[in-house]
Structure 1
Amino acid sequence: MIKVRDLGLKAIELIEMYGENLVVENMPGVAQTMEKGDFLIVYTTPFSEAESLPGSRSYMIDIWYKNKKVFSEYFKSLEDLYNCNRSKRAEWTKHLLSLS
């Protein structure tokens, strides 16, 4: 089993390396997105002006694998992500961690 924290940090690392701004009609602010192999990652921060939930600005990471949403996490601070001890068990998790 792989920690949610490790998956989130890997997603942020990939966004920092390969991410592009994503402006969505009818959504305030800007998200970042990255496509690599079978993965699509969307990431927002409270500072991006994007509202991941209506009326709420938070960190949000969504991951799609082979066109299916496999991961969605919302958190108020990066500390919340670092302190998350939940785990995921799925084939896609190993593939995500191996991306560079």
Structure 2
Amino acid sequence: MRIDCHVHVIGTGKTGSGCWYRPRGLTRIGEPFLLRSMGLAASALREDFEAIYEAALLEQIRASGLDAAVVLAQEEPYRDDGTVIADTGSFYVPNDYV
């Protein structure tokens, strides 16, 4: 059985998902390449990105020959004391969305 155990989803939150996306630094530089790797145009970020991304991800997983994929959320960065380090992450995907 072939399983990819590390697949992240990403979202913009425009549909009330609770996700957010704030490209900065290397994420900003890599954004065009990341979109292209999913077969998406930059205009997808202005549309219903989450549905578009989900469809593209499912298509890639189905075409890959994998038997399963473990889809992961993306937490915000935290300090050792458990408090959120605000305004430092590039994206956030809540567990409930996944």
Global fold match (TM > 0.5): no
By relative contact order (CA 8 Å, sep 6+), the higher-ranking structure is 2
TM-score under structure 2 length normalisation: 0.28
- TM-score, structure 1 as length reference: 0.28
Q: More strand per residue: 1 or 2? A: 1
